[in-house]
Amino acid sequence: MDQKIISLAAEKTADRLQEFLQSLKDNDLANLLQNQAVKGKAAGALLRAIFKGSPCSEEAGALRRLKIYICGIHLVESGDLQKEVASEIIGLLMLEAHNFPGPLLVELAKEFVGAIEEGSLTTGKSLELLPIILTALVANKENLAYGKGVLSGEECKKQLINTLCSGRWDRQYVIQLTSMFKDVPLTAEEVEFVMEKVLRMFSKLNLQEIPPLVYQLLVLSSKGSRRRALEGIITFFSELDKQHNEEQSGDELLDLVTVPSGELRHVEGTVILHIVFAIKLDSELGRELLKHLKAGQDFSNNICPFSIALLLSVTRIQRYEEQVFDLLKASVVKSFKDLQLLQGSKFLQNLVTQRSCVSTMILEVVKNSVHSWDHVTQGLVEFGFILMDSYGPKKILDGKTIETSSSLSKIPNQHACKLGANILLETFKIHEMIRQEILEQVLNRVVTRASSPISHYLDLLSSIIMYAPLVLQSCSSKVTETFDYLSFLPLQTVQGLLKAVQPLLKVSMSVRDSLILVLRKAMFASQLDARKSAVAGFLLLLKNFKVLGSLSSSQCSQSIGVSQVHVDVHSRYNSVANETFCLEIIDSLRRCLGQQADVRLMLYEGFYDVLRRNSQLANSIMQTLLSQLKQFYEPEPDVLPPLKLEACILTQGDRISLQEPLDYLLCCVQHCLVWYKSRVMPLQQEEEEEEGFYQDLEDMLESVTSRMIKSELEDFELDKSADFSQNSGVGIKNNICASLVMGICEVLIEYNFSISNFSKNKFEEVLSLFMCYKKLSDILNEKAGKGKAKTANKMDSFLSMKFVSDLLTALFRVLLWRYTSIPTSVEDLGKKEKGKSISLLCLEGLQKIFSAVQQFYQPKIHHFLRALDVTDNEGEEAEGSVSHRAAFQIRQFQRCLLNLLSSQEEDFDSKEALLLVTVLSNLSRLLEPSSPQFVQMLSWTLKICKENSWEDASFCKGLMNLLFSLHVLYKSPVTLLRDLSQDIHGHLGDIDQDIEVEKTNHFAMVNLRTAAPTVCLLVLSQAEKVLEEVDWLITKLKGQVSQEILSEEASSQATLPNHPVEKAIIMQLGTLLTFFHELVQTALPSGSCVDILLKDLCKMYTILTALVRYYLQVCQSSGGILKNMEKLVKLSGSHLTPLCYSFISYIQNKSQSLTCTGEKKGKAPAVATAMARVLRETKPIPNLIFAIEQYEKFLIHLSKKSKVNLMQHMKLSTSRDFKIKGNILDVVLREDEDDNEGTASEHEGQNKEPAKKKRKKEMKCLS
């Protein structure tokens, strides 16, 4: 039968073929086709013949064609056919689709949609036909019956797609269906519909199926909805990451059902590659990605580890590189700033949940990049360096680091720089391939940025080398290359660099040898800095190459020791070799003793450290020091002074300079001697013959001490009559001698104290030496006081930290006990003495110690507080928290302050009160804001401010600052500000002198002396902080609303979660409004108070405008405005705006009278000063008026949008209109006539012009 059909098809006309086909049943024909196709015989030819004999012009032919077409689809879908046969049939079906009439095309499409919904597809191969059928349907111009109505082909296609996307998709055909849609002509709306369906299917697929689906989705996105596709992909992986992290940190049993971490990361990596590839081909996709992530920086789903990894991969595309890094930088700094703002405000903490910081996410990306994310690694390294370059410490000027930004923005910048270093360090640990590059870039920056601070790079280098010195042996060539630049680098950089590479020197002989070569060359360089660098390098080597028999590194002070290098040093260098090596270096260093004072000084400063780290070198070092000291020592016991100071000074023509820093030499000798006697000699009793050196040194120091005490200043030629000017040679020489003598006195004081064992004789010697030091110091201060250069004589102290700490340890408890036990009032004798009383000195000492501990020893605070607690028992150690212990100390100082405040007015010492407040401020920072101790401290401070009325501005400022710093961590200080503003208004009076203001007295601390400027400026700065917080919240809300407007699901309910935040904002602004309401009616004195109040009012209106604009957005997304908002607008119209205009008039009138007073006095400087002051005070006025008008402009818009009349309470001001006050005008004109009568006629023309100007000025002032 099949042969007959084929042969009939070969005829020229199809008539006989049609007849034959009509004689057959459709089922027989379908079975015939099926058999032929399964056998793999000429199914294509048979199908072609059947189609030829079934023309669409006849109804029977068209129906037969439809049945056979559907049969063909089922055959292809069955999976029983050979590949070639199936492909041939598909090809034929594709060609024939366009010949179908419209209604049959609809039938075919419905057949497909039904099969997809029922899940009856087997291979999914037939899906290739659906785009062809839908395209043909669109091309069909006739109206078609669809459902109950009649639709065009385009509309039918839309209905079919809607049905298809609303139905169920079998998991295994999702990818094919997505791929199919790329060939279907779709409108923007249909693309979005398909996109949503595909994104909903993500969660139903296996992880391995996601990358190919993402690829198809990105191809589809070229038709539109790019942003939605990216948003969906990012959100999906963000949720998946979150879920994965929760499961990993949760129950271990869950590990059985979750996705392995590696698999998830590999899938994410592949998806990122697909997206980057798509962005390369479609630049619009890249722009949409950046837009999407910029818009949603505040929302957790947008910026997440996955999107950060994606952005870092996109940096490989050159045109996006800069934009992406800028976006990431902005996100990091914003994240740190937000964190800082949140941590400093309890009000914000209650409203906003703290999200995970961007820095944590970036470090997570570093951790995830171990799973073959090579495309992310390069971006990570670049970003790490960008952060370090952008936010590292700023340029150095006169040896000091300049901070260009304010101290508040400094903290986020420091965090950002630290994050950059962490990124690089962690990347270095994980990725072997990139280590060389990171090391190279760090070293390049160390060498090329010598003029900028590079401590952050040196810290990073140190961390890298410390992590794995052995790994770095492979990159050691780069380190040795850097050594060649040592001679040209600043000394500080050289020291930092050598300290950082020190662990590497212990494991790599080649690095060590190349360093020694460079240092030896530098030792004889012409530049002084190069020689100093050589000394620094050699001293570092001496410290770190231990000789056998030296004391263990646990007895050393520096943290970088042998114990931190993960290799056995002695396996490479035995200690005998080390000793030879060290003695060679000491030999080289001896030559430095003939060089400039600066070089010798470095040597003396370094020898003591070397001795402590390498005690076996003591003999060589001490012998060197002894021979050097003998050159300047008078051996005769009767000769005064005992040291040859003349020999220490070098005179070259007119130039006089220090040749030998004898004070530093003596300091080094005493440190080495004391250390050696206490640590080494007890272990070396049998080697008595070596002790000769130490005995000599000891005798010399003893002799110098006794003779220095006997010496008078005349013996040094340094009495009161001596010349100390910096202009003459004699004066310079005397200054050098004086500083040497004072230094030697300090060294001897410390030496005698350390060997005294608290004996009376030694302490008397110490006091005698101190008197010698003090006499000389007084003379120098007196002489410096007469001259201009007072700071020229400031010198470093030689007293070591150990000596100071020993003294302080002895004195500290005395200080604490004495201050807290003996009231100052008892100490009448001390008060009569010149200078400060002992109690006050005790308190100052305590305050400095508390500050130092908090600033530099944060981790040890607990131990510090425990050490203070005398009653502490060993068993209770664990129990007392920092808050408990700090509270105990706070109570003592609170008692002291109360005693002081309850004393008579003449006994009140404001310095002492201020110091006590500073101590309390320091201690209160240690309290946990949630602890009862914190609440007690706050209520106590509040009570003190309310009940005490000392008229001392600095004490008031200190106490108020303490109050606010505590209050913001407990709750918002707006009500406090309102009360204080009422007090200020009460004390200073009203701008309208006829009105008598009722005094409120909420806070006794506010009085006529302290109300302005002290308290006024304080409350204004606090109000500014509250406004900043509110502004931050409004910005956050605006971002959320714009996100909701963008996403399709946004409904009227979408804004409901924001209601608590909106209410809080309105409450804050309402209370602040009453605060400003009081201050703008207050007769504030001219100056900073008025200036800052005007600026803050301007901010207030700007933020009110921002809130109105937010509600404009809300109305757009079909939300309404809160009743509270209407009340706030009403309040601003009745209680603030009219008063602002009155206040402006008050300032202008005041300015006018000020100018007039200046002119009456007739003195040009007085007029100029008055005018400058007027200009400064009236400068913010136009800004304020503009801000008020902007607020009213947007209120009009909001009134129209919300259908609520918000302008009914706003009165348009006449303050800016031109107005003439007749009575004042008459006075002014009369004055002018009087002036003009007495003048000569030739001057008349000259006088008229200024008179006019003056009148104009008067009129301006009157407005």
- Residue with the bigger pLDDT between 245 and 808: it is 245
Reported as a pLDDT band with limits 50, 70 and 90, residue 939 is very high
1013 preceded by cis ω (within 30°)?
A: yes
Reported as a pLDDT band with limits 50, 70 and 90, residue 604 is very high
3 state DSSP class of 1028: helix
pLDDT at 1072 over 90: yes
Contacts for 1158 with CB less than 8 Å, ≥ 6 apart:
1166, 1167, 1169, 1170, 1171
Residue 566 dihedral angles phi and psi, to the nearest 5°: -80, 35
Q: What is the mean pLDDT of residues 1014-1034?
A: 94
Per-residue model confidence as pLDDT tens digits over 709-756: 998 888 888 888 888 888 888 888 888 999 999 999 999 999 998 888
pLDDT at 611 over 60: yes
Residue type (1 letter), 765: E
pLDDT at 1053: 41
| 145 and 192 Cβ atoms separated by less than 8 Å | no
pLDDT at 814 over 90: no
How many Cβ atoms are within 10 Å of 1248's Cβ, its own excluded?
12
Q: What is the mean pLDDT of residues 680-709?
A: 78
pLDDT at 686 over 60: no
Q: Across 631-640, 759-768, 960-969, 1036-1045, which has the greatest mean pLDDT?
A: 960-969
| 520 and 584 Cβ atoms separated by less than 8 Å | no
- Residue with the bigger pLDDT between 906 and 932: it is 932
3 state DSSP class of 652: strand
pLDDT at 1145 over 60: yes
Both tokens of 12, joined, read 């020229």
Reported as a pLDDT band with limits 50, 70 and 90, residue 476 is confident
Per-residue model confidence as pLDDT tens digits over 193-211: 888 888 888 888 888 888 9
CA–CA gap between residue 151 and residue 145 (Å, rounded) = 6
Contacts for 1199 with CB less than 8 Å, ≥ 6 apart:
1205, 1206, 1207
pLDDT at 981: 94
Which residues are registered as beta bridge partners of 656? 651
Per-residue model confidence as pLDDT tens digits over 824-844: 555 544 443 445 677 787 788
Reported as a pLDDT band with limits 50, 70 and 90, residue 564 is very low
Which residues are registered as beta bridge partners of 655? 652
- Residue with the bigger pLDDT between 1017 and 1233: it is 1017
Question: To which residue do tokens 């296996």 refer?
Answer: 206
Measure Cα distances from 503 to 482, 499, 522 in Å.
Answer: 16, 8, 22
Q: What is the mean pLDDT of residues 1131-1147?
A: 90
CA–CA gap between residue 485 and residue 504 (Å, rounded) = 18
| 275 and 214 Cβ atoms separated by less than 8 Å | yes
pLDDT at 412: 86
Helix (H) or strand (E) holding 1210: none
pLDDT at 43: 67
Both tokens of 864, joined, read 């510090």
Q: What is the mean pLDDT of residues 1246-1262?
A: 33
Q: What is the DSSP letter of 205?
A: S
Taking the mean position of all CA atoms in its chain, how far away is CA 455? 18
pLDDT at 361 over 80: yes
Per-residue model confidence as pLDDT tens digits over 247-288: 776 654 444 445 677 888 888 889 999 999 999 888 888 888
Reported as a pLDDT band with limits 50, 70 and 90, residue 630 is very high
Which residues are registered as beta bridge partners of 396? 401
pLDDT at 408: 54
- Residue with the bigger pLDDT between 185 and 815: it is 185
Reported as a pLDDT band with limits 50, 70 and 90, residue 545 is confident
Taking the mean position of all CA atoms in its chain, how far away is CA 528? 40
- Residue with the bigger pLDDT between 81 and 935: it is 935
Taking the mean position of all CA atoms in its chain, how far away is CA 213? 39
CA–CA gap between residue 194 and residue 650 (Å, rounded) = 91
Lowest mean pLDDT among 201-215, 293-307, 1101-1115: 293-307
Per-residue model confidence as pLDDT tens digits over 34-65: 666 666 666 667 666 776 666 666 666 677 77
3-class secondary structure for 72-111? Answer: HHHHHHHCCCCHHHHHHHHHHHHHHHCCCCHHHHHHHHHH
pLDDT at 1184: 92
CA–CA gap between residue 85 and residue 91 (Å, rounded) = 10
pLDDT at 1242: 43
Q: How many residues does the chain have?
A: 1263
Per-residue model confidence as pLDDT tens digits over 1094-1111: 999 999 999 999 999 998
Lowest mean pLDDT among 296-305, 784-793, 1037-1046: 784-793
pLDDT at 876: 47
Count the alpha carbons within 13 Å of 455 in the hemisphere toward its beta carbon.
Answer: 11
Q: Across 11-25, 587-601, 911-925, which has the greatest mean pLDDT?
A: 911-925
CA–CA gap between residue 219 and residue 354 (Å, rounded) = 38
In 351-488, the DSSP E strands lie at: 396-397, 400-401
Both tokens of 1047, joined, read 């996403």
pLDDT at 1258 over 60: no
Angle 528-532-538 from CA coordinates, rounded to 5°: 145
Q: Across 2-6, 159-163, 1258-1262, which has the greatest mean pLDDT?
A: 159-163
Residue 252 dihedral angles phi and psi, to the nearest 5°: -65, -25
Q: What is the mean pLDDT of residues 553-567?
A: 38
pLDDT at 592 over 70: yes
CA–CA gap between residue 380 and residue 892 (Å, rounded) = 52
The mean of the pLDDT values for the chain is 79
pLDDT at 108: 74
Q: What is the mean pLDDT of residues 14-29?
A: 66
- Residue with the bigger pLDDT between 549 and 405: it is 549
